[in-house]
Structure 1
Amino acid sequence: MAINFDKALGIHPHTMVLRAKRAEVIAGNIANADTPGYKAQGMDFKQMLSQAQSKQQMGMAKTHDKHLNASMSLNDGLAYRTPNQPDTGDGNTVDVQLERNLYMENSLEYQASVNFMSGRFRGLNKALRGGQ
């Protein structure tokens, strides 16, 4: 009997992809903190995860090795952040402290997903070996 990884892992591989994309967006904001006119971007994680879930439920898996992967566009969930601080005159909306906190939070959530996936694979491996 073959193992269906989509059923075994659920939405968790999608969360890792989204968290990696979110880390890129936040890192880009931090890198452009001193760029005049740069507008900080954010990502609606819940919306993107819901899109990933609906695509998984619609059966977007490949049925043949030569088929292309059906993937979501990760840019659809990006939006400009509403600034929490007054404009300093250069038009930049990056709040470095906020971005650092968001990056740390995202990093912890990513690590939690990695730990969950690792545990799931250990369980699958144990099941395949017959509990040894």
Structure 2
Amino acid sequence: MADGLFGIHGSALEVRSQRMGVLASNIANASTPGFKARDLDFRTALGAVEAGNANGIDGAVRYRVPTTPSMDGNTVELSTEQTAFAENAVQYQTTLSFLNGRIGQITRALKGE
């Protein structure tokens, strides 16, 4: 089964991908009046995916509390979102690299190398 081969990393990649979408939406709506910035609670979302409840990711989305709310009700703080996006992208790439290495090991083992 894939869980045995890849452990938690496949689920982590899925959650990181979902978080990237949430953060990208925040950045895209940085100037939209009334837009409320959101983020994905990684542990909650990972627990939901590991339990086989992909829809549980929606329950892991939380509204971000701004340091300085804007006058138009928008709670996106661009520097915070960009930093979170960059950190998540690095974590996504790290997880993907691990999985690619694991797939390479399995391929070599199957070929008898």
TM over 0.5: same fold? yes
RMSD: 1.2
* TM superposition score normalised by structure 2: 0.92
1:50 aligns with 2:47: yes
Aligned position for 2:67:
84
Deviation at 1:79, TM superposition (A): 1.2
Percent identity, aligned pairs only, is 36
Say how many residue pairs are matched: 112
Residue of structure 2 equivalent to 1:68: none
Deviation at 1:6, TM superposition (A): 2.1
Contact 1:40–1:94 (8 Å) recurs in 2: yes
Secondary structure class of the residue paired with 2:31: coil
* Residue aligning to 1:115: 97
Q: Which runs of 5+ in 2 are unaligned?
A: none
Verify: 1:12 aligned to 2:17, yes or no.
Answer: no
Q: Considering Cα pairs closer than 8 Å and 6+ residues apart, tell me whether 1 or 2 has the greater RCO.
A: 1
Greater C-alpha radius of gyration = 1
Deviations 1:1-42 (A, max 9, x none): xxx322011111111111111010000001111011111001
Deviant stretches of 4+, over 6 Å: none
Aligned to 2:39, what secondary structure does the other structure show? Answer: strand
- Name the structure where helix makes up a greater proportion of residues: 2
**Is 1:95 aligned to 2:92, yes or no?**
no
In structure 1, runs of 5+ residues without a counterpart are 61-70
Letter in 2 for 1:80: Y
